[in-house]
């Protein structure tokens, strides 16, 4: 175990006892939602995981330590500081850790730290992917590379159409990442249940998800698994409304020359502002939905040894 890894006593005890644990990211707290909804949501997500029989492990970098399992005070700190906390992807870890700084973990770094800690299942909202226009900008999220090399199951609500969903699926195919639809044959597009793109496999129960991931790990295959769980019908949004906001956000992003790690947070914030509170509400509900599924899947996974 590396000396920078710091697993909370509760998470450490759960892992040692073979109990189910679910990892959660912290970029969604610091960069993905406004304060105080971010803190309220993060704490509720942890409660939902407990209510469904697993232990939550929110993952972040604090003072240069890779933390698996935060206290409510630490979650409040990440929520309140918001974007002042560096968004930490794989390339940021060495310098942040060496300097003893804080970092909000993206899907990439949450997968890395979850794996270091021995946690196999991770719930979030949406993943990064191949951006629209990537054929000239080369903006492809490190999340896709991580899915190609780190054995963690990521349960999300699909990807937002701020991305090129077709190219994102092509990239995942190249990297050998199974894309699973939970109860659906179609890739969900975060705010909406459909996208027009098919997934690789449809699985219908937490036990089936656990069995597939168990087989992947037992074969020693490197790489993760992407489970896409459609937003509950009652919270899904009108595709015309959301797509209009996304198109406008992308146009503003290009006009303002936003690039690099700032692109995704910029687009997410603009889409939220342009659609009022509706998209934030949907965003919160889909994270709850993913947390429930992750806890149940982690509970099935521990039965397989
Ligand atoms: N997409 C979302 N919500 C998010 C993110 C992406 O719908 O909160 C965050 C996640 O932390 C993800 C990161 O890992 O943005 C991807 O950033 P980038 O595109 O810069 O790799
Ligand atoms: Mn990028």
pLDDT tens readout for residues 224-253: 999 999 999 999 999 999 999 999 999 999
Residue 277 has a pLDDT of: 77
Q: How far is CA 53 from the centre of its chain?
A: 20
Q: Give the number of the atom of ligand 1 that is nearest the alpha carbon of residue 87.
A: 11
Which bound ligand lies closest to the C-alpha atom of 157? 1
Prediction pTM value: 0.98
Percent of the chain clearing pLDDT 70 (strictly above): 100
Distance CA 292, CA 32 (A): 20
- The response to whether residue 106 sits with its C-beta less than 6 Å from ligand 1 reads yes
For the chain, give percent helix, strand, coil, nearest 5.
Answer: 50, 15, 30
Q: Give the residue, by CA position, lying nearest to ligand 1 atom 20.
A: 261
Tokens of 24: 């959660």
- The response to whether residue 28 sits with its C-beta less than 6 Å from ligand 1 reads yes
Q: Give the residue, by CA position, lying nearest to ligand 1 atom 11.
A: 106
Show which residues are catalytic. Answer: 25, 160
pLDDT band, residue 305 (cuts 50/70/90): confident
Q: Give the residue, by CA position, lying nearest to ligand 1 atom 16.
A: 128
The model's pLDDT over 196-217, given as tens digits with 9 standing for 90+, comes to: 999 999 999 999 999 999 999 9
Q: Name all contacts of 258-261 with Cβ < 8 Å and 24+ positions apart.
A: 259/137, 259/139, 261/87, 261/89
- The response to whether residue 261 sits with its C-beta less than 6 Å from ligand 1 reads yes
- The response to whether residue 126 sits with its C-beta less than 6 Å from ligand 1 reads yes
Gyration radius from the chain CA atoms: 18
User: What count of other Cβ atoms lies within 10 Å of the Cβ of residue 18?
Assistant: 10
- The response to whether residue 142 sits with its C-beta less than 6 Å from ligand 1 reads yes
Q: Give the number of the atom of ligand 1 that is nearest the alpha carbon of residue 141.
A: 21
Percent of the chain clearing pLDDT 90 (strictly above): 97
Q: Give the number of the atom of ligand 1 that is nearest the alpha carbon of residue 159.
A: 7
Closest by Cα among 196, 195, 182 to 294: 182
Buried/exposed code over 239-278 (b: 16+ C-beta within 10 A; e: otherwise): beebeebbeebbeebeeeeeeebebbbbbbbbbbebbeeb
pLDDT of residue 8 exceeding 90:
yes
Q: Give the number of the atom of ligand 1 that is nearest the alpha carbon of residue 104.
A: 11
Handedness of CA 7, 9, 13, 19 (dihedral sign): negative
Q: In angstroms, what is the span from residue 46 Cα to ligand 2's centroid?
A: 28
- The response to whether residue 160 sits with its C-beta less than 6 Å from ligand 1 reads yes
Q: How far is CA 153 from the centre of its chain?
A: 10
User: What count of other Cβ atoms lies within 10 Å of the Cβ of residue 145?
Assistant: 15
Q: Once rounded to an integer, what is the mean pLDDT over residues 281-303?
A: 97
Residue 96 has a pLDDT of: 98
Let me know how many helices (H) and strands (E) the chain has, helices first: 13, 11
Distance CA 99, CA 96 (A): 5
Closest by Cα among 265, 2, 262, 228 to 113: 2
Residue 190 has a pLDDT of: 97
Q: In angstroms, what is the span from residue 168 Cα to ligand 2's centroid?
A: 13
pLDDT of residue 269 exceeding 80:
yes
Q: Whose structure tokens read 């947390």?
A: 291
Tokens of 49: 């995981």
pLDDT of residue 1 exceeding 70:
no
- The response to whether residue 141 sits with its C-beta less than 6 Å from ligand 1 reads yes
């Amino acid at each position: 175990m590396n000396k920078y890894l710091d697993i909370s006593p509760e998470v450490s005890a759960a892992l040692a006892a073979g109990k189910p644990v679910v990892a959660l990211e912290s970029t969604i707290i610091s960069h993905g939602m406004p304060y105080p909804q971010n803190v309220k949501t993060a704490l509720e997500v942890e409660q939902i995981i407990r209510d469904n029989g697993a232990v939550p492990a929110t993952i972040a970098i604090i003072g240069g330590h890779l933390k698996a399992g935060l206290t409510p005070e630490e979650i409040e700190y990440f929520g309140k500081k918001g974007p002042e906390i560096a968004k930490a992807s794989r390339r940021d870890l060495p310098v942040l850790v060496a300097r003893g700084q804080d970092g909000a973990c993206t899907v990439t770094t949450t997968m890395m730290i979850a794996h270091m800690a021995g946690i196999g299942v991770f719930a979030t909202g949406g993943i990064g992917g191949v951006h629209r226009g990537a054929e000239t900008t080369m903006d492809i999220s490190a999340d896709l590379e991580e899915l190609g090399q780190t054995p963690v199951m990521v349960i999300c609500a699909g990807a937002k159409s701020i991305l090129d969903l077709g190219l994102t699926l092509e990239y995942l195919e190249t990297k050998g990442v199974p894309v699973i639809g939970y109860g659906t044959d179609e890739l969900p597009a975060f705010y909406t249940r459909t996208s027009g793109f098919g997934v690789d496999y449809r699985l219908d129960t937490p036990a089936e998800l656990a069995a597939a991931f168990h087989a992947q790990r037992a074969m020693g295959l490197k790489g993760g698994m992407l489970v896409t769980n459609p937003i509950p019908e009652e919270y899904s949004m009108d595709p015309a409304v959301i797509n209009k906001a996304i198109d406008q956000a992308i146009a503003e992003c290009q006009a303002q020359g936003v690039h690099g790690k700032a692109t995704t947070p910029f687009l997410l914030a603009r889409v939220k502002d342009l659609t009022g509170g509706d998209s934030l509400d949907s965003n919160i509900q889909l994270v709850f939905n993913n947390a429930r599924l992750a806890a149940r899947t982690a509970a099935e996974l521990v039965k397989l040894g």
